[in-house]
Structure 1
Amino acid sequence: MPHAICVIIVYDDLYGISARHRQPLSYGIVIVRAKATCGHAQQGHGPISVCRHITVFATARFTTSKHLQKIYELEKASVRMEGYDGRRFLAMITSVHFVNDGFEMIVPTLLPVISVALSLSYPQIGMVGGALVVSMGLGQVFVGAFSDYFGHKKRLIIAGLVLVSAAFLIIAVSQGFYSMLAANLMAGFGLSIYHPVGVAMIANRYDEKQGKAMGVHGSGGNAGMFLFPLLAGVLADVIGWRLALATFPILGLAMAALYAIYVVEEPFSLSSFEPKKLLIPALATIILAMGLFNMAVRGFIVFFPVTLGTIGTGSSLTGGFMSLFFGVGIVGQYLGGWLSDNME
């Protein structure tokens, strides 16, 4: 039977999943001697040739620049919490969380004076507060899916800070219910961007002591929710609610600039997503529990300041009560993270 010498060129594809994202990272050459086809086998929708007595003479592998770049990016992304880079990243991402969660509390804290200035009814107050929450909730679903598929986490976080800063400027010049409603929808979407992106970045970077990293990060958010209501209330009493709202975008834009300068964009690869089985009953239970929890907490955040306003408390005292409510979470978040690392 005749024999044939074959040269087979193959390549690995570490990007996987979607054909339009595939890029060869290395090539291999296999030289074989194969005896002529001596039969057929049925597979799938048609016959395939079967060769026997295949002898491999030589193989070679050539790494491409893409492969080297991929290795470098993966090594660079392998940051541990004990290292300087890990601590610096955690400090920066926690600072963004501090600003983002603090911004959530500004409009609810100032709603008593805003509602009087714009003559808002109780249903309208509920709609303004609800617009912020609904936009945040729906936005997180969209942003989470987008960042998983396309990456660009750094750009998304910067965009969120810029968007909510712009929304605060619009609220500061609002003259009625509809402009307030639209600006709160915009602010809610801007605020929605951080959590699905920031939490995913921490989970990807910290394999060890992940609970501690999450605890530090969560404490930063609660610190913002503690400080910003008090700051917003004091500023509103001193310079008025419009100027107070116009002041906070300076902080938001400054934070966006610092993040843009000091944080390196994460390497992105669809191959990092392995198929996982979703535990639907457990997930449904968690969603229901979180939904009920947030319904109670967000209702409190919107109407507690308004109720205080009806009994004559000023913006400073209202902000102080709001700060007290969230201040205890600073310790609780860190303690919960520590316990998750040290308890089975």
Structure 2
Amino acid sequence: MNSNEQKLTWLAGFSHFITHGYMSLLPAVLVMITAEHSMSFTDIGIIANIGYFLYGLGAIPAGYLSDKFGSKRVLTFGVGGMALSSLLVGVSQGIWGFAVCYAFLGAFASIHHPAGLSLIARRVESAKGKALGIHGVLGNVGIFLTPLVAVLGIKFFHTWRAAYVLYGLVGILFAVMMYLSRVDDEPDLHWRSFFRWGGALRDPVDDEVAVPGSATGQAAPAKGGADLPGAMLILPVSLLLLYCGSILSGFIFRGSLTFMPSLLQQEVHFITSSDEPVVLAGTVTTVVLSLGLIGAWFGGWINDKIKRPEFFPIILFAIVAPLLYMVSSMTDNGLLSSISLFSLFYYAWQPSHNYLISRYTKKASHGMGFGVNFFLIFGVGSIATAIGGYVADDFGVDRFYLVMAVIAVAALAAAIGVYLVKPYLIKGSLHLVRENNNAR
């Protein structure tokens, strides 16, 4: 990577770190918040669900804005919005104040994935897989490091608010850094840009169409417009299957993160018999999730080395599905071994998946492509929480991991389908036709 590519990779990567940091704080301080506001777990669960839903839903308009106004410009806006929202959460008063501020935090956090990933996909050419791997690693660092920051904030300041204020202050510093940084071919943030629709970003490859059957898998230009009369919809069938995989893997992502501490507390003897099983289960979960750093890095690196990156998700889910079955059926050391291997392999999926999304969407539409992707992962995939709660209550947490093993088999089928339907496109003309009243 050249210096410009390195700069934007680290900017997007740190934005990924702090985004997952903001969205991982609540579980770590949940008990203290409910105690302070005399809230039930149902109340805090509803507030969290609203925030997470906005985290997914907002990715679609964020993707559109990234394509229209520029990825760096929109990403800077999102980083600043997250920082201010985190500060507001930290000083919020009452249940309603907390709920509204947390909803704003979820909405601003939704901006990162379509804006940050489209920035990498559009502007990194020489080592795109490596850049996506770095991006994934820093996001995983945010996931497993944030609970430690929250615990330290509680220990030294005796309040859950300290972590949100600290992250907010760090976010403001990073937003200033983003604002002052210059990235080649990317417009910088000016507030008037969001109100001047005529100043939309025009990418030099706006007329390119993603053709999955091409030698490189990259977008290929339309030839003279002869084959594209009017407004022609060109949609790779593989992209639809990738989006199906987004839902399925989003289910596994949210389900495994939510119920891993409960599973360990229930099925691992030295945790169950501990004086502080909740703390110990959380600590072991952090260690297990840290293995995902290796997977995330490898998942990005490998895509620059193989000719057919569609094969990699097939291999991954062929490994992940039996591992989830083993997690559902083992206890103690067997469970710890299988769930550690799951974390090691599963988190290689996201950089690989993002790489394929960038290949099957045209360059000027990367933002919208990633926006839809992350709405499906975080928004639709979040139903795992409700389904997992039902299965855990009626059958046990371990049975929910069996459900996720079945979901992984479905994800394997979708990954195989992505490769098999590579040559196929959906084409259709979009015409506005005025009805002839004289014909009545």
Same topology, TM > 0.5:
yes
* Equivalent residue number for residue 210 of structure 1: 128
- 1:107-159 Cα offsets, whole Å, 9 max, x none, are 221112111111121211211221221011001011012221x2232232222
- Which structure is higher in helix share? 2
Q: 1:338: Cα distance to partner?
A: 1.4
Give the residue type in structure 1 aligned to 2:61.
Answer: F
CA 1:330–1:197 in 2, change beyond 3 Å: closer, same or farther? same
Task: After TM superposition, list the pairs within 5 Å mapping 1:70-89 onto structure 2.
Answer: 81=1, 83-89=2-8
Conserved 8 A contact 2:14-2:138: yes
Classify 1:324/1:238 alpha carbon distance in 2 versus 1 (closer, same or farther; 3 Å). same
**Identity level (%):** 27
Q: 1:129 pairs with 33, 48, 51, which one? A: 48
Alignment check: 8 A CA contact 1:223 1:330 kept: yes
After superposition, the Cα gap between the structure-2 partners of 1:216 and 1:290, relative to the gap in structure 1 and judged at 3 Å, is: same
Cα 1:88/1:152, change in 2 over 3 Å: closer
The answer (yes or no) to whether the contact 1:154–1:263 under 8 Å persists in 2 is no
Task: Tell me whether 1:272 sits opposite 2:205 in the alignment.
Answer: yes
Please state if 1:327 is matched with 2:290: yes
Tell me which residue corresponds to 2:116: 198
Query: How far apart are residue 326 of structure 1 and its match?
Result: 3.0
Amino acid at match of 2:6: R
Relative to structure 1, the CA distance from residue 284 to residue 248 in structure 2 (aligned partners, 3 Å threshold; closer, same or farther) is: closer
| Distance apart, 1:303 and its partner CA | 8.3
Deviation at 1:313, TM superposition (A): 5.2
Residue by residue, what CA displacement relative to the aligned partner does 1:215-237 show, whole Å, maximum 9, x if unpaired? 01111111122222211111112
Distance 2:262 2:60 in 1: 26
Task: Tell me, yes or no, if structure 1 residue 154 matches structure 2 residue 72.
Answer: yes
Over aligned residues, Cα RMSD in angstroms?
3.1
TM-superposed CA distance for 1:283, in Å, is 4.1
TM-score, normalised to structure 2, is 0.53
Structure 2 vs 1, CA of residues 254 and 323 (structure 1 numbering), >3 Å: closer, same or farther? farther
Secondary structure of the 1:105 match is: helix
Equivalent position SS for 1:269: coil
Kindly tell me the number of residue pairs found equivalent between the two proteins.
260
Question: RCO greater where, 1 or 2, for CA within 8 Å and sep 6 or more?
Answer: 2
Aligned partner of 1:241: which letter?
W
Look up the match of 1:72. none
Structure 1 SS opposite 2:125: coil
The structure-2 alpha-carbon separation of the partners of 1:251 and 1:87, relative to structure 1 and needing over 3 Å to count, comes to same
How far apart in 2 are the matches of 1:229 and 1:251? Answer: 16
Task: Say if 1:108 and 1:301, in contact at 8 Å, map to a contact too.
Answer: no
Matched, 1:108 2:20: no
Q: Indicate how the Cα distance of structure 1 residues 216 and 225 shifts in structure 2: closer, same or farther if over 3 A, else same.
A: same
Q: How big is the shift at 1:312?
A: 8.3
The answer to whether the Cα contact below 8 Å between 1:105 and 1:228 also exists between their aligned partners in 2 is: yes
Residues 80, 171 of structure 2: 8 Å contact kept: yes
Q: Which residue of structure 1 aligns with residue 241 of structure 2?
A: 282
Q: Give the letter for the 1:248 counterpart.
A: Y
- Once the two structures are TM-superposed, the CA of residue 181 in structure 1 deviates from its matched residue by 1.8
What's the CA shift string for 1:8-57, capped at 9, x where partnerless?
xxxxxxxxxxxxxxxxxxxxxxxxxxxxxxxxxxxxxxxxxxxxxxxxxx
* Counterpart check, 1:255 vs 2:187: no
Report which of the two structures shows the higher radius of gyration computed on alpha carbons.
1
Are 1:292 and 2:292 matched, yes or no?
A: no
Task: Normalising by structure 1, report the TM-score.
Answer: 0.67
In the superposition, relative to structure 1, how do residues 195 and 284 fare at CA in structure 2: closer, same or farther (>3 Å)?
closer
- How much does 1:87 deviate? 2.0
